Amino acid sequence: MSRLRLAARALRLALNRAHADPTADYDAASSDYDTFFSPVMGGHSTAALAEVPIAPGDSVVELACGTGHLTAEIIRRLDGRGTVRAVDKSPGMLDVAREKVRALTAGTSGLGVELSVGDMDSFIRGLPDRSADLVVVGWAICYTKPARLLAEIGRVLRPGGRVMVIETRADAHQALTEGLEKVFADDPSLLTSLIRVSLPKNAATVARWFTKAGLTVTGQRDGAQVIPAHTPAAVLEWVQRSGAAAGFKTAVDNGREQLVLDRVEAGLAELLRKKGTLEIQHTFVVVTGAKPVAPRARHGARTGEEAGVA
């Protein structure tokens, strides 16, 4: 019955368009992000970036650049020539990214780097057709309508241009998310807005988004990383300070956030007692692709102009 009440509550919130904004959580996590998230998941991001070629002189777009972990890697691989246009919705995260970029670009003249605060959907819609060689989306395509965003990415890419997406999978932090769902099911009034995310089931799901957007898939894989937190308190600290719980602050009834955290922690403690261990996995997907190059006309075929077509 409690889950039915939660479903009814969620439906009412959806009809009222009460949606949580993850920006506040990312702002709050910005000073700790490179202490918690980047050392654990950053290596997977860098490995994913290595799966798409970057050459000096390339024009690169990065959507949801966060604290600039991948931005810095892109700049290093451009080796002083090219452009980077990056955007993030969190001013706090961008402040950290700007410090990294400033240190890496001091004294360079052939490299242009622009960091903007804003929504990535609006940002990419404002970019010209065929203006980028590579578009990177790290841990953020879930906040959009993925196929629509990828279609915009396809428009912005030059023929043969590449795209890389790394994203959290729907089954990440499973024990934690199940515990949170139970807390809300027991008292649906604690939930005041919905966290809207399109987390994929697996890499094949993202590959289908690519195909739907007209992009060719060049690689796809699933991965998993055990987070370095093995007590209930440590797990909650990691997900909050790493940004993994983005949206929580505005999804929970104001003033009762700590109550929710205490109940989730109690649920994790019970799970630890039963199983003897608390292993939380951050599962993820990596998918790479490219914008198809228009096929050449067959030998001997006439163009429309040659055939007299106006």
CATH classification of the domain holding 146: 3.40.50.150
Do the domain assignments include residue 309? Answer: no
Q: What is the pTM of this model?
A: 0.89
249/238 Cα distance (integer angstroms): 15
Residue ranges, the chain, pLDDT below 70: 1-19, 295-310
Residues 6 or more apart whose Cβ sits within 8 Å of residue 17 = none
Closest CA to 168 of 208, 205, 139, 209: 139
* Total domains, the chain: 1
In a domain, 90, yes or no: yes
Report pLDDT for 82.
97
Q: Give the domain range for residue 32.
A: 2-290
Q: In this structure, is residue 301 part of a structural domain?
A: no
Question: Exposed (0-12), middle (13-18) or buried (19+): which is 293, by Cβ within 10 Å?
Answer: exposed
Determine the Cα–Cα distance for residues 223 and 202; give it in Å rounded to an integer: 9
Q: What is the pLDDT of residue 268?
A: 94
Residue 235 lies in a domain: yes
Q: Which pLDDT score, from 0 to 100, does residue 8 have? A: 64
Q: Identify how many contiguous H helices and E strands the chain contains and give both numbers.
A: 12, 7
Domain assignment present for residue 305? The answer is no
Q: Which residues contact 186 (CB under 8 A, 6 or more apart)?
A: 2, 263
Contact, 133 vs 158, CB < 8 A?
A: yes
